[in-house]
Structure 1
């Protein structure tokens, strides 16, 4: 279980206390001192941002950007909320579109339209619209995206070759995914383990066929692919709509990966070793995750890996993963912060981060260049991420969406690992999230 309600309560209380969240003078003058940039990430991701800051320092001698490193997303959200309340927010922060709405709704984020209009570096037409649109609120461009990723299936090519199982390929179905994951779930003798009944025997899986998080962001593309919807109105949602036949089928199939087929690790196994580590250690054949895992997986030396597109129900659909640089309304050093933001989002900055493996660049030309598509470093099938962009859909940016994700995670986790009845799961998802939707604000 991952109880995160405390973070939501902290954020709610802090943002209410801060009102519009300005935290100080709203002038855009350069007050001097370092530009403070708040980010979080795995060690390899943080190293990527340090590389960007080093390059910026060389490109603009005398510029000073200080990286504030949060330990995880929960820590980043809490730090941002408390710093705003204390009147000393960072100048910039990097955040996923699914989480920035709570700050946008309270006026914490500085609109960038005027600065964009006067910029010789940032041309909105140069970026993927789906990522730009995800960071508009009240008709204003609040943040500028650095990446436009979707889910992909990372897979251990060496394991597939060892066991003679065909590798995933474009156009494969959900049933293909289940069959492949079953064929790749092996015991210590290298024999296939079918279903969950074998796990009481002496031979337990030493390689699981698939890792996938029981969350809304993992479920969403399959509900959409099957012709269903996650919410009743993407722009002004009031409830989840997982009670339709299409959505229920996708939900049941996700749960059955554990309950019927035993191809994903148990809850206890995930607590002992998370899926990303399990994949990197060669004990997970496939992992469904976003581009951000690439920086970590490029440290792998023991086997070859690659990426494949998501399996398809009726049509190909991806779910947007996008992070953006946002400026706080209470920033003390806005002009200097904007100069760095221009560099980070511009072609040169995006090339630097793309070369580290962290991003699918939101800058169209950079995403189509050898710095992203080149075969020098894995994944060799990087184009999978670009092919998915025309299909990606964004989840709602309602201000209470982080709370909705946290609440639904617990319900979906219990369904996958405890086997809760589907009717109860669908009912709880609907009834428990309705008050959160009612309290939320939309952009």
Structure 2
């Protein structure tokens, strides 16, 4: 992975993980150490004794960008005992550890965990730690994370880096067809017009699609948000007419204009964009590190097209401190290092994701392009201004079911109205939805 966590972590970043209930606070490791409770520059091993803190994250962790090794070099008296958990059951494992009292000192929590963990007292409010550090003040984070802190009544976790959804496009195909490249102002109609011009049919068979199927489920919620839906309101799923419009638009592309194939119902679907068989695709930003291996055409990225207003979703994970940890000062030293320029540089270089810290967002550490693309790295700064932590705050089982309903419309199995009704019924039955 060049992130190369990104090749698989994209799906896990949000919708693929279920959020379990948290019923008890976990206890940290029992390694002896002083237990600091304030931030600043204090060390966690003033007596010279080696301190071990425990840390869980999804794995495997790329050794090329070993941020733990870098941290231990700077803090030689603190050892980080890392547990790598398979991505597919990461959320469930963390929930179980907290409930059983075996949770690590520092946890990376998904978006749909952090607010519940904060509510249940499982993680520490970090405001007392960050109050004297200007670089970690809420005002230095992009708007979406400022909003989360306000909603949560404090800062309970710091975002390591963030990902989003992008429009990928084949520059070679666009140039050959004489179609202008996508811009940040592209609407659904612009996308549709381009897709018609870029679709090629020979002898009754489509040999080049103007648009590939939606590459990542979260794109659906970004489309609905761009058509006016709030997506999340008071902790519950809030979709309506915007989702109807998104389904109708996609249905037009798939079943009326035939510029986009139906979504695959199997596990062996071909990535049409990467295969050079589709001119455009809406997918996660983590695919940059997959597409950097493309050699047979030039490509680039742009913000998602929108209906009435630009809208996109963010994906991240949060560094948090277990409220039962015995090593809170050492825990904070680790988190503070990860949020420092050195730590953020390691994360960006390893993952092609962007720092959520405004003061670091203009760095070029994440810009690891392939031979043929991308070049439009400004897309991340554009999206950061309006992107939100939307559907990722909801239980993933709910949003995954919603995606199945959206696709059922494209497969001719339901009307948009029927799909929406099913999603809303499911949401009313799911806690948090």
Q: Deviations over 1:394-440 (max 9, x none)?
A: 31676x5333213312222322334411221121111221122xx33
**TM-score, scaled to structure 2:** 0.79
* Aligned counterparts of 1:262 and 1:330: Cα–Cα separation in 2: 57
The Cα shift of 1:249 comes to 1.6
For 1:409, the equivalent position in structure 2 comes to: 403
Alpha-carbon spacing, 1:137–1:172, altered in 2? closer, same or farther (3 Å): closer
The Cα shift of 1:171 comes to 1.4
The Cα shift of 1:136 comes to 5.4
Alpha-carbon spacing, 1:5–1:368, altered in 2? closer, same or farther (3 Å): closer
The Cα shift of 1:357 comes to 4.7
Runs of 5+ in structure 2 lacking a partner? Answer: 1-10, 37-43
CA contact (8 A) 2:212 2:273 kept: no
CA contact (8 A) 2:26 2:102 kept: no
The Cα shift of 1:332 comes to 5.0
Select the residue among 343, 354, 360 that pairs with 1:360. Answer: 354
The Cα shift of 1:375 comes to 7.9
For 2:57, the equivalent position in structure 1 comes to: 39
Q: Answer with 81-90 or 47-56: which moved more.
A: 47-56
Runs of 5+ in structure 1 lacking a partner? Answer: 186-190
CA contact (8 A) 1:210 1:285 kept: yes
The Cα shift of 1:247 comes to 4.0
For 2:301, the equivalent position in structure 1 comes to: 307
| 1:350-389 alignment runs, 5 A limit | 350-372=344-366, 378-389=373-384
For 1:251, the equivalent position in structure 2 comes to: 247
Answering whether residue 433 of structure 2 is matched by residue 435 of structure 1, we say no
For 1:188, the equivalent position in structure 2 comes to: none
The structure with the greater share of residues assigned to helix is 1
**TM-score, scaled to structure 1:** 0.77
| 1:11-410 alignment runs, 5 A limit | 11-12=20-21, 15=22, 19-23=23-27, 28-29=35-36, 34-40=52-58, 46-47=61-62, 50-61=65-76, 63-72=78-87, 74-119=88-133, 122-135=136-149, 138-185=152-199, 191-192=200-201, 203=205, 205=207, 209-213=211-215, 215=217, 217-231=218-232, 234-237=233-236, 240-242=238-240, 244=241, 246-268=242-264, 271-273=267-269, 275=271, 278-372=272-366, 378-395=373-390, 401-410=395-404
Q: Deviations over 1:302-357 (max 9, x none)?
A: 44321112213223233233332222324454332221211111222212222345
Aligned residue pairs total 406
* Aligned counterparts of 1:64 and 1:222: Cα–Cα separation in 2: 44
CA contact (8 A) 1:182 1:263 kept: yes
CA contact (8 A) 2:24 2:99 kept: no
Q: CA RMSD in A?
A: 3.7
CA contact (8 A) 2:17 2:396 kept: no
CA contact (8 A) 2:302 2:376 kept: yes
CA contact (8 A) 2:409 2:416 kept: yes
The Cα shift of 1:241 comes to 3.5
CA contact (8 A) 2:170 2:280 kept: yes
